[in-house]
């Protein structure tokens, strides 16, 4: 069984033209099947402000009303996604841009209203890998933005970390899957103010302890929950750190294990 790498990049790369160009050049050299998942960066927020559309956030998550959904679809599935695909082509990496609606790859349902109405935000319910398998077997790299659909014509804003995790799980029936979350830190840190305090390995037991001791909290928790969800659903390996970890195994990063 071949090994596939599912790699998620965030705003620290998306928002920096030089960093993105450098990453894409390196990413293109990764041999074997691979999938790239990207977040939205700051561009959607900037465009919303230019169009006088209020940006509503709660607990770090975007409230997605109809106008906001229009903007993030234009930015995520349009401007950012196609820019990445074009740059990959320039680096001899044949790629195809995807939302969850394309090829019916990721079906979500609109998040139910509990205490907060998130609007047009989707929670992933199903990943269909048939179209992806055809492309990957022809050495074409899928590039996913953070938009899914509900199979009834409605697009939904969906967390990019979750999309990466669910794609890795979905592909695990046909590949040995490895999941990489690239962000601005060297990994999960024991001390947020010390870049060298990387916790190199976290398993289920140590994660519970780290949470109990308030060493891991707030923004890192949803990312790690996605990591353990993937590990518990047949993903072979999950790593968190700077994108350098993909190209140099000696770079410090955090590996998640059962």
Tell me the domains of the chain and their CATH numbers. 3-256 (3.40.1160.10)
Torsion angle of C-alpha atoms 13, 125, 85, 3, degrees rounded to 10: 90
Mean pLDDT of all residues in 181-190: 93
Mean pLDDT of all residues in 157-183: 96
Nearest CA to 127 among 35, 206, 207? 35
pLDDT in tens, 43-101: 999 999 999 998 888 776 789 999 999 999 999 999 999 999 999 999 999 999 999 99
Q: How far apart are CA 235 and CA 102, in angstroms?
A: 24
**Which residues have C-beta within 8 Å of that of residue 212, sequence separation ≥ 6?**
none
CB of 155 closer than 8 Å to CB of 120: yes
The model's pTM: 0.95
Mean pLDDT of all residues in 209-219: 83
């Amino acid at each position: 069984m071949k090994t596939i790498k599912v790699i998620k990049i965030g705003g620290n790369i998306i928002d920096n033209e030089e960093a993105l160009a450098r990453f894409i050049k390196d990413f293109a050299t990764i041999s074997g099947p691979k999938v790239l998942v990207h977040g939205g960066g700051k561009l959607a927020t900037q465009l919303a402000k230019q169009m006088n559309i209020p940006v509503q956030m709660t607990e770090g998550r975007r409230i997605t009303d109809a106008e906001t959904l229009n903007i993030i679809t234009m930015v995520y599935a349009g401007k950012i996604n196609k820019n990445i695909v074009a740059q990959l082509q320039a680096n001899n990496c044949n790629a195809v841009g995807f939302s969850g609606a394309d090829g019916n790859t990721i079906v979500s349902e609109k998040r139910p209203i509990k205490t907060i109405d998130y609007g047009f935000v989707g929670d992933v319910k199903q990943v269909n890998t048939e179209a992806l398998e055809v492309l990957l077997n022809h050495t074409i790299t899928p590039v996913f933005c953070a938009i899914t659909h509900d199979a009834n014509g409605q697009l939904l804003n969906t967390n990019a970390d979750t999309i990466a995790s669910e794609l890795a799980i979905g592909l695990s029936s046909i590949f040995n899957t490895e999941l990489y979350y690239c962000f601005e830190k060297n990994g999960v840190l024991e001390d947020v103010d010390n870049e060298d305090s990387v916790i190199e390995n976290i398993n289920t037991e140590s994660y519970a302890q780290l949470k109990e001791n308030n060493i891991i909290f707030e923004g890192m928790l949803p990312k790690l929950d996605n990591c353990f969800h993937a590990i518990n659903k047949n993903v072979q390996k999950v790593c968190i750190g700077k994108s350098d970890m993909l190209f140099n195994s000696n770079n410090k990063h955090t590996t998640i294990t059962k």
